[in-house]
Amino acid sequence: MLRCASLTKTYLSGGRRLTVLKDITFQVEPGAFVAIVGPSGSGKTTLLGLLAGLDRPSAGTVHLDGDELGALDEDRRAQLRGEKIGFVFQSFQLIPTLTARENVQVPLELRGDPAAPRATELLARVGLGDRGHHYPAQLSGGEQQRVALARAFSTRPKVLFADEPTGNLDARTGATIIDLMTELNRDLGTTLVLVTHDLDLAGRARRTIRLADGEIAADTGAGSHPEHGVTLSGAKGA
């Protein structure tokens, strides 16, 4: 359902070409829970941005449900993101002038869906049923991230991308966010692709792709798809 082939990203930086992703090829099955790990600067955020259609590759392709993202114009790509993709950021990225409920309603209203009942239901689902009228500044980091999760799931995306979703949270709060993501992955069948350098969090994923210097250094737990890389016997979900 999500597939990238020979994905390469080069930046021009101070007159020099910097290749930050080199020839990345893998695919993700529907309902998968994949962690992308690797040291800082190894290309994780760049890769996620390409997979989510937020950015365009220098070479190579990304296919989501049969559509090649790079072949679409920006409008069509934005439309596809609205229909199929959710995104959660390390820094929550809530709109500060909107309440929790209004933040969750934004993607629904953009689609012309009746937003309010679903936003209320989603906030209850992330344990914030009574906080819908609060502004982001009135919520803790963990609560803000739960609002961001409710927002990301509001349109029932096929794929949820998350970039260091627990990076700004203490270990315990981070664990509740991960529990919630795992639950939504299981209950709604949402495919999860998350970037983390939190090893606990990565351990919850059924598959781990390790980047080093813009290349895939290891790909474990992909189960019945050993062509995607090394499959460790005994790896979770293998």
Binding region for ligand ADP (CB under 6 A) = 11, 13, 18, 20, 38, 40-46
Beta carbon nearer to ligand ADP, 108 or 195 = 195
CB of 151 to ligand ADP, least distance (A): 22
CB of 88 to ligand ADP, least distance (A): 15
Look at the block and give the residue holding tokens 């794929």. 159
The answer to whether the beta carbons of residues 96 and 135 sit under 8 Å apart is yes
Beta carbon nearer to ligand ADP, 113 or 215 = 215
Task: Identify the sign of the CA torsion 221, 70, 164, 83.
Answer: negative
Q: What is the DSSP letter of 71?
A: G
CA–CA distance, 205 with 34 (Å, rounded to integer): 5
Tell me which of Mg ion, ligand ADP, none is bound by residue 118, counting a contact when its beta carbon lies within the kind-specific cut-off of 5 to 8 angstroms. Answer: none
Q: Which of 48, 54, 55 is CA-nearest to residue 11?
A: 55
Beta carbon nearer to ligand ADP, 46 or 185 = 46
Beta carbon nearer to ligand ADP, 11 or 227 = 11
CB of 44 to Mg ion, least distance (A): 5
CB of 69 to ligand ADP, least distance (A): 17
